[in-house]
Structure 1
Amino acid sequence: MNARTRWAGWACSTRIAVLLREDLESWQRLNVTAFLVSGLGTTLPEVIGAPYEDADDVAYLPMFRQPVLVFEGTKETLAAARTRALSRALPRAVFTSGLFGTGNDRDNRAAVRAVRTGDLDPVGLAVYGPRNAVDKVLKGARMHP
């Protein structure tokens, strides 16, 4: 069963997707994904479900109400996806290569702010929106293995 088949049962009209540059190390892929989706969850309350509780009444934080699909692609695929996300005005988060050299939130924002849009070197992009719009943004990307 592939990843697309696994999520076929989720009948969502919207999609949360992360696109990672294919040349990242494993630890970078995980780190970038976590950072990117945190931006969506904190800004778009409609993507968050209700809190969890186990049978012993122990409470847990809420999570996304739908799967997060993770894709990978070349540097060019990522650049094209970012351009398409911008042109469709989809909610998005970006992680640039410069963020690997910073150590805190203030420096992260400064590293992105210092570079013009067309000159950013994105290694990851998260988008949220209508399923068909997100699918068009991700054209040319493949599901993460």
Structure 2
Amino acid sequence: MASENAPVRFDTKIAVLLREDLPTWQRLNVTAFVVSGIGSRVPEVIGEPYADADDTEYLPMFRQPVLVFEGTKEALTSAHTRALGRDLPMAVFTSDLFGTGNDRDNRAMVRAIPRADLDLVGMAVYGPRNVVDKILKGARMHP
């Protein structure tokens, strides 16, 4: 019987990969956007709602950690290609999206560019831990 205080190990991983040359505000913005895609497509990664001792209710969050990595533009392109080959749930953020201000324009901007020409600055991927590790080969943990 496992102890209720034993660490929880997940056989899946939620990971964000950011291009290393982004300013801090863009890293935060990209991370927030791409992880929202994982939660909407893979509802089982969302835990139960929170409540404090006064019964104030809060929204549910991911049930497992989100690991954030960084890498070169080439590492991001390679990870994107590997994730596509594994058919894993993935969200992307391109440099063009910094110039738009809403979801409709964001989607139109991505739609206008062929996959091979996307200027990726960030992505989030979800899947089996060992598969996500292979997809992120060449990336390093965000400092």
Relative to the length of structure 1, the TM-score reads: 0.93
Matches within 5 A, 1:7-46: 9-46=7-44
Question: What does residue 127 of structure 1 align with?
Answer: 125
Question: What does residue 83 of structure 2 align with?
Answer: 85
Percent of residue pairs identical: 75
Give the match's secondary structure for 1:87.
Answer: helix
Q: Which amino acid aligns with 1:101?
A: G
Question: What does residue 95 of structure 2 align with?
Answer: 97
Unpaired runs of at least 5, structure 1: 1-8
Q: Which amino acid aligns with 2:113?
A: V
Unpaired runs of at least 5, structure 2: 1-6
Number of aligned residue pairs: give it.
Answer: 137
Give the match's secondary structure for 1:103.
Answer: coil
- Alignment RMSD (CA, Å): 0.6
Matches within 5 A, 1:99-118: 99-118=97-116
Q: Which amino acid aligns with 1:77?
A: A
Cα distance, 1:67 vs structure 2: 0.3
Runs of 4+ deviating beyond 6 Å: none
Q: Which amino acid aligns with 1:119?
A: D
Question: What does residue 3 of structure 2 align with?
Answer: none
Which of the residues 47, 55, 64 maps onto 2:62? 64
- Alpha-carbon distance between aligned partners in 2 of 1:110 and 1:30, rounded to the nearest angstrom: 22
Cα distance, 1:43 vs structure 2: 1.4
Cα distance, 1:10 vs structure 2: 4.1
Relative to the length of structure 2, the TM-score reads: 0.94
